[in-house]
Structure 1
Amino acid sequence: MAGLTESKTWKRYSPQLKRKAVEYYLKEAMGAQKTCEKFNISSSSVLRKWIKLYTNGKRFKPTSKRWNNQMNKGRKTTWKERIEIVQFTIANNLDYHKAETVYHVSYQQVYRWVRKYKANGPEALRDRRGHTLKSKPKESLTEEENYKLRIKELEERNQYLEAENGLIKKLKEIERRNRPV
């Protein structure tokens, strides 16, 4: 019955215990369940994760409940910084976690920047928020941009007139309903 109750505490395992358990499992061939019982490991799935790390030659890290608090929230960066971060990440075989810790930016930011950089080059990393065709000087617009801007203006005008027309119709209907018969 004790094995069926849900654990109320977070179990911490040292890297030494993890190594001993994995080596015991691999040498003794007693099975995952027996190994878990011997080393007081919460479940065989935990042991299987350790075995995978061990056989792939990766280091064991101490078990910590604080992983979520350590996630990097990211920070504001300049265009040149973003290029530097992307080039660092590419040079390190797309190790996003390493870039995250070295440059104190979020994993998601680095991942997105690398994708944009690979697809469209360094110009794709520019922050274009707030920069619309309207904010550009008319003289610097290309012919295509001029057409796009004119279409946008006409669509906005059309939307305004449709709203105005709908309001007038509604007002006339209200006046018609309120007329004494």
Structure 2
Amino acid sequence: MSRKSSYTVEEKIKACTDYLSGFKSAIQIAIELNMGKHGRGVVRGWVKKYEAYGASVFINKARNNYYSQEFKERVVKEYLNGTNSPNELVIKYNIPSRTTLIRWIKMYNNHIELKEYDPKPEVYMVDTLKTTFEERIEIIKYCLAQGRDIKGTAAKYGCKYAQLYQWVRKYEAEGQTALIDKRGKCKQEDKLSDLEKAERKIAQLEREKEEYRKKYELLKKAEERERW
């Protein structure tokens, strides 16, 4: 029998009230909901969240939670110091799932920066922004200078996420000449003028410089963590 992929708010609330009233055990609820071998633990996790935050904890939000870099690092360090287990931290800070926290821990241990997460749903809904060639280059360079933060850059300039993603992808693959016309077609190397060749070379050097900068920052952060 296959496991259900998701559960309704009503099912979660009923599971919690049945368990807390002593009407049913976690195992009974897991079996009824077809939750698989780890179902008992999932039910108990629901119950702890229900006790801490009430039924509203199961209601889907209009947008995802915002987590700052400082918050993520504080929670991970709390785990690494042995203060609390992942399950306890998920309940304490109302983190959506244990999987989310485990991913933060793995990233931290592998010296991968725990960047801030801000959903910014508006960058997916805005209309396509009309820009000149020069404006597109300005936006792309800003995006790359911010560590390829497409979502944040799209919000800053009021353009659509998918639109900016395509600009950045073309710029990284073919240089700024790929953005001259709306079709994004780039001339073959042997058909470029001397100026176009120079512009493409400059774009390539800028991309390489940015890659070296990001690698240097990662190494620097790794060395700092080694000294902790």
- TM normalised by structure 1 equals 0.47
Select the structure of larger CA radius of gyration.
Answer: 1
- TM normalised by structure 2 equals 0.39
